[in-house]
Amino acid sequence: MHLFAGGLGFDDDDQPAPEDLRPEYRHAVERMMGNTNTFFAHKLLPFTRYRPDLDALREVAAKIVPAAGADSAEHLPARPIGVIADEIGWPVVTFPGGHSGYASHPVQFATLLNRLLESDQTT
């Protein structure tokens, strides 16, 4: 799990203490931790082998907003986003935090998401 978390750019020092998490998010984390064997065996490998249809994505590029966390830009989840952004001709929108910036920086994350959803870029 530590190897996987490192690949996502997670740093234990940057994560809020479990008791500081909202109850619904803490419950989600507990469920994810309880499903790690299934996740690694049946979800992670297919995900890492997936190749998106770039031609199809180019056709709907106006509806796509590539995004990644600032602290995870060099890690696994953000790399494919950068490739897709290059292919469709959009910049990557950088959100605060890392892979789970919505949990570590909820106010800043929500503010940027709200501005993005209200902008002309998403229409």
pLDDT band at 69 (very low <50, low <70, confident <90, very high): very high
Torsion sign (Cα): 83, 84, 86, 90: negative
Q: What is the mean pLDDT of residues 40-45?
A: 83
- Mean pLDDT of the 51-69 span: 93
Burial-class residue 46 by CB neighbours within 10 Å (0-12, 13-18, 19+).
Answer: exposed
Average pLDDT over residues 29-50: 85
pLDDT, tens digit, for every residue of 86-101?
999 999 999 998 888 8
Q: How confident is the model at residue 123 (pLDDT cuts 50, 70, 90)?
A: very low
pTM: 0.67
- Two tokens, residue 42: 């049946």
User: In the prediction, which pLDDT does 91 show?
Assistant: 94
Q: Which secondary-structure segment (H or E) carries 69? A: strand 67-69
